[in-house]
Amino acid sequence: MKQTILAISLLISLNSWSQTKPKVDFTTANASIKFDIAEHMVAGDVTYQFTVNEATDSIKIDAKNMMIQGVKLNGQTPKYHYDKKQIAFTQGFKEGENTVTISYKTNPKQALYYVGSGTDLQIWTQGQGKYTSHWLPSFDDYNEKVVFNTKITFESGYDVISNGTLDGKTVSGKQTTWSYKMTKPMSSYLMMMAIGKFEKKIEKSASGITIENYIRPVDASKYTTTYQHTKKMFDFLETQTGFSYPWQIYRNIPVEDFMYGGMENTTSTIFNSDYVVDNIGVNDRDYVNVNAHEMAHQWFGNLVTAKSNKDHWLQEGFATYYALLAEREVYGVDDFYWKLYEMAELITKDAKENKNTAVYSEKATTTTYYQKGAWMLFYLSSQIGEANFNTVVKNYLNKYAFKNASTQDFLNEVTAVVPNFNVDNYKQNWLENKGFNTKDALFLIENSPLVKSYFEVLALQEKGFEVKKDQLLKLLKDPNTFTDTKREIIFQLHNVPYDQAKEFYQTVVQSNDLKVRQALVQVVSEIPTDFMEDYKKFLNDNSYITREIVLKNLWLQDVAGRTDLLDKTATWKGFNDYNLRITWLMFALATENYKNDKKAHWYSELENFAYNKYNSNIRTNAINALWYLNKYDSNTLPHLVNALVHHNSRFQKFGRDAIVRLSEKKEFKDHFKKLIPYLPQDEHDALKKLMEEI
């Protein structure tokens, strides 16, 4: 009887496996890539090993707008069809093991980007939403997982980074070939390259994983403030998920002009250099949350990948929630509940303003997949208990490791651990609900001391100032009152006359809390005469945001003090977008009789920031400053045209909107039209198209 049961069980298992295995399974890729920098051309070849498990009419590989140089299928030159989107084979393959090699050239219009020039040149990729198949024949379907090995040849002296561990470097003349090797499969959108000049430091996780953190040499002094808590969060995620880090190595690489906060490429996260901050900038923004989010994706998204677009929250919701958990480990439970509250506010607003805000759906908003997805997990954890939740996640990761999973797959794991939990109700009322159960959600966090104290002050918002004055002042002076509660107190001073709020102002001036001090600076639009000298003290705050606000307000309102103000702030730079330097140049140029002999040099410096050797944030700041000085400055026009072909969609929109606005005046419209014949081809085409639309 035991033998019969075993035989039947084995037969069922084999039948189940045969029903789920794909007709064609690509297993390994070996890619070799070279660059023609002058032409922005990629030349490469890639060899795929694949298994045909059962008869199929055709096999397709995605390849966008490439020049196919040659194809070999099992050593022979096959017939194939290429429509500039996919290479399709209908013959030449057989059941069992096969090999195909594709040689190609391409000038990618997206997914691979060149930023800067000369020694500041960076090349980096973005696969998610842009498709790796623009620079490497690969698979847009993220259900196709492959072990990728990559060789990249580039000019010696640059650092070249790709997925996996560095398997060696070889030098030939002025070129170096970097070889990277992986051992586990991943989806093609997680393929990456980053090329530039970096320094790196190495940390070791508690489990022995190497963590490489990169930074540009010019930013070397910002390493500690940028990469704070990295190892601690990595160790936490390994413990919290119950699943050992699934890859061989982990890296962080900051790049210029990245279009998002970061991207969780397997083993090698690319992130926006705006998060590279010094010991002042770190008080305004830091890499901690983005770092934790992209790190969490190594499990949620890279190890286990969503089966369909409807399941996208399994990646972004999980990464957002586990980043919160990692920050809870760093900053404490009050910070955790406060951020959940901020998310709840954002989700509620999003649900009112947008149509599709159901977590389990296609084409929902970013807030839905990220913040609302995180809230779905927090709610689930609160209902089934954190210990059960952790068991569910551990089982889920183990069962679907290096595979794809659906929302139902995850819910099945919930049922397996907590059979009495009503999964259908959870799915209907939370995952599929376009609204947000704000009341139920806030009930879960309202007993947090921070959230509770904030709500108590928020409840006073509509009351007259004299009624609440003493209560608010007492809380503001209390060293045990939370910073976010104190900020709300300051925001309630809006429109309160200075003579009534004077004691509040003086309390803040004497405070060392940068966030509370910044709140007052944000509230004060007109500086009271009696407060002017105290207001100037905020110029010394270790906050670039505070300094910029104070610099602007003082220049506008203290005309007699402009010379002293500009002298005091002449060496300021600010964030990586030069926010303070550009603001200073703008005001120095606008100040009558201020060092007139230097103004031509300052104007050249300001206009120089608008050129494409700088990132789009710097260029936007510079163009806005030039417009402040002269809203019809013709020197800005070529920069606006160049913005039309920039990879950053925000900068594209900035340029387009400005050209449309300026073209309302006939002389500007005529000027743009006259520019068209003299422009590079991409700018020529973009401006011509826009002029035809206007």
> What's the rounded Cα separation, in Å, for the pair 130 and 113?
11
Are 227 and 287 within 8 A, CB to CB? yes
Q: How many domains does the chain have?
A: 2
- Choosing from 402, 420, 446, the residue where a domain stops is 446
Mean pLDDT of 402-413: 98
Q: What is the pLDDT of residue 20?
A: 67
- Say if residue 17's pLDDT is above 90: no
* 3-state DSSP percent of the chain in helix, strand and coil, to 5: 50, 20, 30
Stronger pLDDT, 131 or 14, i.e. the higher one:
131
Q: 388: Cβ–Cβ under 8 A, 6 or more apart, which residues?
A: 417, 418
Given this model, what pLDDT does residue 129 score? 86
Write out pLDDT tens, residues 86-138. Answer: 999 999 999 999 999 999 999 999 999 999 988 899 999 999 988 999 999 99
Which CATH number belongs to the domain containing residue 66 in this structure? Answer: 2.60.40.1730
- Mean pLDDT across the stretch 445-452? 96
Q: Helices 483-491 and 514-523: crossing angle, nearest 10°?
A: 10
Pair 244, 207: CB distance under 8 Å: yes
Higher pLDDT, 361 or 118: 361
Average pLDDT estimate for 475-487? 98
Same domain, 53 and 191: yes
Q: How many CA atoms lie within 13 A of 668 on its CB side?
A: 19
One domain, residues 167 and 310? no
Which of 419, 446, 473 is the last residue before a domain boundary?
A: 446
168 and 43 in a common domain: yes
Same domain, 177 and 325: no
* Residue 94 structural domain: 23-197
Burial (CB < 10 A; 0-12, 13-18, 19+), residue 629, is middle
Give the CATH number for residue 418: 1.10.390.10
Q: Are residues 29 and 164 both part of a single domain?
A: yes
Do residues 192 and 321 share a domain? no
Task: Say whether pLDDT at 458 is over 90.
Answer: yes
Task: Indicate if the pLDDT at residue 18 is higher than 90.
Answer: no
Residue 150 in any domain: the answer is yes
The CB density around residue 603, as the number of other CB atoms within 10 Å, is 17
For residue 130, the model assigns a pLDDT of 85
pLDDT-based confidence at residue 350 (cuts at 50, 70, 90)? very high
Residue 479 lies inside a defined structural domain of this protein: no
Whether the pLDDT of residue 1 is over 60: the answer is no
DSSP state string for 448-473: SHHHHHHHHHHTTTTS-HHHHHHHHH
The arithmetic mean of pLDDT across residues 168-188, rounded, is: 98
User: 615: pLDDT confidence band, cut at 50, 70 and 90?
Assistant: very high
Residue 76 is predicted with a pLDDT of: 96
**By three-state DSSP, how is residue 65 classified?**
coil
| pLDDT the model gives residue 347 | 97
pLDDT, position 4: 36
Ordered strands of the 262-263 beta sheet? 199-204, 210-215, 249-255, 268-272, 262-263
- Does residue 583 belong to any structural domain of this protein? no
Residues in CB range of 37: below 8 A, 6 or more apart: 114, 121, 155
pLDDT at 592 over 70: yes
Split at pLDDT 50, 70, 90, the class of 506 is very high
Same domain, 189 and 311: no
For position 159, what pLDDT does the model report? 98
What is the model's pLDDT at position 691?
A: 96
Whether 629 is covered by a domain: the verdict is no
Residue 329 lies in a domain: yes
Q: What is the mean pLDDT of residues 223-233?
A: 98
| Pairs from 548-554 (Cβ < 8 Å, separation ≥ 24) | 548/574, 548/579, 548/580, 548/583, 549/518, 549/521, 549/522, 550/521, 551/580, 551/583, 551/584, 551/587, 552/583, 552/587, 553/521, 553/524, 553/525, 553/527, 554/527
Give me the chain's average pLDDT, please: 95
pLDDT, residue 13, reads 40
Residue 210 placed within a domain:
no
**If you average pLDDT over residues 559-574, what whole number do you get?**
98
20-29, 463-472, 618-627: least confidently modelled range: 20-29
Q: What is the pLDDT of residue 355?
A: 87
Distance between CA atoms of residues 300 and 294, nearest Å: 9
pTM of full prediction above 0.85: yes
Region 277-306 average pLDDT: 98
In a domain, 441, yes or no: yes
Quickly state the pLDDT bin for 16 (edges 50, 70, 90).
Answer: very low
What pLDDT score does 118 carry? 87
On whether residue 50 sits in a domain, the answer given is: yes
Identify the band that residue 2 occupies on the pLDDT scale cut at 50, 70 and 90: very low
Same domain, 193 and 309: no
Assess whether 189 and 331 both reside in one domain: no
Query: What is the mean pLDDT of the segment spanning 645-673?
Result: 96
Final residue in a domain of this structure, among 165, 197, 229: 197
Structure-derived torsion over alpha carbons of residues 445, 447, 448, 452, reported in degrees to the nearest 10: 100
